[in-house]
A and B are shown apart, each in its own frame.
Chain A
């Protein structure tokens, strides 16, 4: 997940990976192989690319847009048609309705979904996504994020995802790269970024100085105390994706001492009490080992 203010070089970094820009120095590897080992078009066919503002081809039908990489790879027609329908289903657009349309007949959010489908078409092991959900309203964005998360859980691609939106970064990222003026200022897990920003720039960007904001960025499953003993029936329950802010709300509302974190099958996983929330809230007291910020000095950026 690439995070940073406008103009800091996020798009540039993505385009370096698929060689729309060539680096003046340094080496980039994808899946361990140098990106210059292949001709650029061949490399790009193996890297899914979702473009800021969808970038669909206006003169091609949705099916042709989604099928473009398989077509370039010379799959046979029947296989492409099957794959296109599969992908339309995957991104939640009924194939019978959407296949034959042109991009101009789709809303911005639908176009972004088609952009996502197009990037996924040839099963790339790497995906570059440049603010893929930037042009949609908050509700649609959340739905697209969920779809992406499901796709990612199923196929485990490496995703380089650009966003301005800290909430989005925290919701989707395994690791976040914070950039500023072409440099990487911090590279760490979402929680570390929020709890231990390396400097005031990162702190401001992620809103780390606002306690409630910080709590809303930490998921309960990351800080829970493993279960010791049985849980009472009246203790409030929270899904493991819930945030500490939700836990605080639940505690204040119920008057209980702790909330029980449950998994998808409602089995208790652990508990969160006020002490945990407090430690998370007081930034320095979190107690995780400090991690040095990784400089992006240009020798290597392994994707």
Chain B
């Protein structure tokens, strides 16, 4: 009993070793970051660029697809079902599958990331557009808006918070998935992980992981700030203030 408690406080030899190893790696990671920060920064920017291009391109297909799906109920199950199924394909398998047609580098990575992002984007666009209150839409027609005006003056702005939340989810997911694409030489922070693993260099792996987490948190925060600026969010804030 007493021995057990003591050993927990002092740590078993194994956990003590792990602890010291942890301290050691942490220090070495800091060393690594201070020594290689220009390179880590460059990789972070590459990573961000890769994810941005992927999500940007993903939006080009997701917006029309989402709008179409929101209008025609029969499309819901096939479209969301298909995109959901695509998302379950393991990323390495997906990349391997793309190599024959797309080769190595950023292109196949972007195709993969944009495909995975579809489900988050389309799902939220559909939910957002459908979620707009029917009487509000009828009021919009009632005051004399054309179909197009109803869409861009009422339906779209009211759906925007849900759409933007979808973009945020898609972006965060893409940032983490983009790590894998270093495997086919698409660059980004994943390359720190892969070289770290192949050279058995824990500080480098940890540095890459830290950079990915920091980038993801930063991006999510930035997107949340954008979401605060929608008309709906502004109206909600005003209502809370009274």
Do A and B come from the same complex? yes
Q: Give the B-binding residues of A (Cβ under 8 A).
A: 18, 20, 40-46, 49, 51, 53, 55-60, 68-69, 72, 101-105, 118
Q: Are B149 and A72 in contact (CB under 8 A)?
A: yes
Q: Are A44 and B238 in contact (CB under 8 A)?
A: no
The verdict on A59 contacting B141 (CB below 8 Å), with A72-B149, A102-B239 known, is: no
Q: Are A104 and B146 in contact (CB under 8 A)?
A: no
Question: B157 interface residue, CB < 8 Å from A?
Answer: yes
Q: Are B144 and A42 in contact (CB under 8 A)?
A: yes
Which of A20, A45, A46, A58 is within 8 Å of B138, CB to CB? A20
A-B contact list, 29 entries, CB within 8 Å: A40-B141, A41-B141, A41-B145, A41-B146, A44-B143, A45-B143, A46-B144, A49-B143, A51-B138, A55-B138, A55-B139, A56-B139, A57-B139, A57-B140, A58-B136, A58-B158, A58-B235, A59-B154, A59-B230, A59-B231, A59-B235, A60-B231, A69-B143, A72-B143, A72-B149, A102-B238, A103-B235, A104-B236, A118-B143
Q: Interface digits, B167-183 against A, CB 8 Å rule (1 contact, 0 not)?
A: 00000000000000000
Chain A residue with Cβ nearest B141: A20
Chain B residue with Cβ nearest A128: B142
Interface residues on B, range: 20 to 34
A263 to chain B, nearest CB (A): 39
Q: Which residues of B contact A59 (CB under 8 A)?
A: 154, 157-158, 230-232, 234-235
Q: Which residues of B contact A101 (CB under 8 A)?
A: 238
Chain A residue with Cβ nearest B150: A41
A86 to chain B, nearest CB (A): 18
In the complex, A135 Cα to B239 Cα: how many Å?
20
Question: B90 interface residue, CB < 8 Å from A?
Answer: no
Chain A residue with Cβ nearest B231: A59
In the complex, A183 Cα to B242 Cα: how many Å?
45
In the complex, A120 Cα to B147 Cα: how many Å?
22
Q: Interface digits, B208-241 against A, CB 8 Å rule (1 contact, 0 not)?
A: 0000000000000000000000111011101100
Q: Which residues of A contact B136 (CB under 8 A)?
A: 55, 57-58
B154 to chain A, nearest CB (A): 6
In the complex, A68 Cα to B140 Cα: how many Å?
9
The verdict on A104 contacting B142 (CB below 8 Å), with A53-B135, A57-B154 known, is: no
B142 to chain A, nearest CB (A): 4
In the complex, A55 Cα to B231 Cα: how many Å?
17
Chain B residue with Cβ nearest A61: B235
Assuming A72-B143, A72-B144, A102-B235, what are 10 further A-B pairs, CB within 8 angstroms?
A41-B144, A41-B149, A44-B143, A51-B138, A58-B232, A58-B235, A59-B230, A59-B231, A72-B145, A104-B235
Q: Which residues of A contact B232 (CB under 8 A)?
A: 58-59
Q: Which residues of B contact A104 (CB under 8 A)?
A: 235-236, 238-239
A104 to chain B, nearest CB (A): 4
Q: Which residues of A contact B154 (CB under 8 A)?
A: 57, 59
In the complex, A118 Cα to B236 Cα: how many Å?
22
B235 to chain A, nearest CB (A): 4
Which of B135, B142, B236 is within 8 Å of A49, CB to CB? B142
In the complex, A53 Cα to B235 Cα: how many Å?
19
Q: Which residues of A contact B144 (CB under 8 A)?
A: 41-46, 69, 72
Q: Are B142 and A20 in contact (CB under 8 A)?
A: yes
In the complex, A227 Cα to B142 Cα: how many Å?
49
A-B pairs, 10 with minimum CB distance? A55-B139, A45-B144, A104-B239, A44-B144, A59-B231, A102-B235, A49-B142, A41-B144, A41-B146, A102-B238
Q: Are B235 and A44 in contact (CB under 8 A)?
A: no
Q: Are A51 and B135 in contact (CB under 8 A)?
A: yes
Q: Which residues of B contact A55 (CB under 8 A)?
A: 135-136, 138-139, 142
B132 to chain A, nearest CB (A): 10
B236 to chain A, nearest CB (A): 7
